[in-house]
Amino acid sequence: MPLLVRKTLRDYRRALIGWTIGICLFSGMYTSFFPQMRENPDFYSQAALAKYPDGVRKLMGGLENITSGTGFLQAVVYQLFVPLLFTMCAVVLANRALAAPEESGTLELTLTLPVDRKRLVLERFAGLAVALLVVAVVSLAVLAILGSAVGLDVSFDRILAAHTGLYLLVLLFGTLALAVGAATGKKALAMSVAGAYAVVGYVVNALSADVEVMKWLNVFSPFHYYSEGNPLVNGFPIGDYLVLLAATAVLTLTAVLSFDRRDVGV
């Protein structure tokens, strides 16, 4: 593994452990509620319908079928909270790649190493991608094991398909933050842009079934490509995932080119 990637991962280590534990605890805790839910299916689906007004429920992905293993997993893990948490993780880690060290001044010495700027950005991106992959793999393992323990009865390849989508989704937001940081060197800006895009993208996707404009806007929402194919039911939506990957590639290229062109630390 290249030195710079290794160094990036070493710098991420503590944060990475924290986020991994957080995300696993969160999804694990919710998954472990499943047996209760299965015991009282009527009560919980009534409660879910009653508890939230219509609009909110739509934002939460409908909350239908939450008493089946697939519906439950979709609602409590893949719909909102875990993508949100994981996106935050991605954006925070992405900021530590360029924008944060630039603001603190530590990037200057790194830049004066005999490493091409393009390569520096690429290796920092690789470090981010590997770090997020670690979180994804560990949380996938926790979900798969816990899921079979509580009798979710969702096959591993479906969970894998959904989790792959989750990984590609957060990698996209992380790369967006990286690109904004690479272009501007401002971590607050990078965080706001990525955060706003995630929130707006989510809302647009959630409302796209009902609101006509949202339907058109939805082609720009990463959540559309993340959830449209319903991977927990249908397996890998290859085309949709390729769109997410392509967007990440474009953003990476943007990051590389814009960082190569500008003054650093100004």
Which residues of the chain form contacts with another protein (CB under 8 A)?
3-4, 7, 10-11, 14, 104-106, 108-109, 111-117, 119, 262-266
Nearer to another protein, 110 or 230 (CB): 110
Give the whole-angstrom CA distance, residue 202 versus residue 79. Answer: 10
Q: How far is the CB of 147 from another protein (least distance, A)?
A: 36
DSSP character string of 198-223: HHHHHHHHHHTTT-HHHHHHGGG-HH
- Closest CB to another protein among 134 and 264? 264
CB of 4 to another protein, least distance (A): 7
Provide the minimum distance between the beta carbon of 192 and another protein in the complex, in angstroms, as a whole number: 23
Amino acid at 99: A
Phi-psi region of 122 (alpha: psi -120 to 50; beta: other; left: phi over 0): alpha
In whole angstroms, how close is the CB of 179 to another protein at the nearest point?
20
Closest contact distance (angstroms) between CB of 25 and another protein is 24
Nearer to another protein, 53 or 114 (CB): 114
Q: Label residue 195 exposed, middle or buried (CB < 10 Å: 0-12, 13-18, 19+).
A: middle
Cα–Cα distance for residue pair 17/89, rounded to 1 Å: 11
CA separation, residue 252 to residues 22, 62, 100, 200, 249 (Å): 27, 34, 18, 21, 5
Question: Is the CB of 8 or the CB of 175 nearer to another protein?
Answer: 8
- Using only C-alpha atoms, what is the Rg of the chain? 20
Which residue reads 């981010």 in tokens? 128
Q: Which is nearer to another protein, 53 or 105 (CB)?
A: 105
Measured distance CA(66)–CA(80) in Å, rounded? 14
Nearer to another protein, 8 or 248 (CB): 8
Output the smallest distance, CB 9 to another protein, in A.
Answer: 12
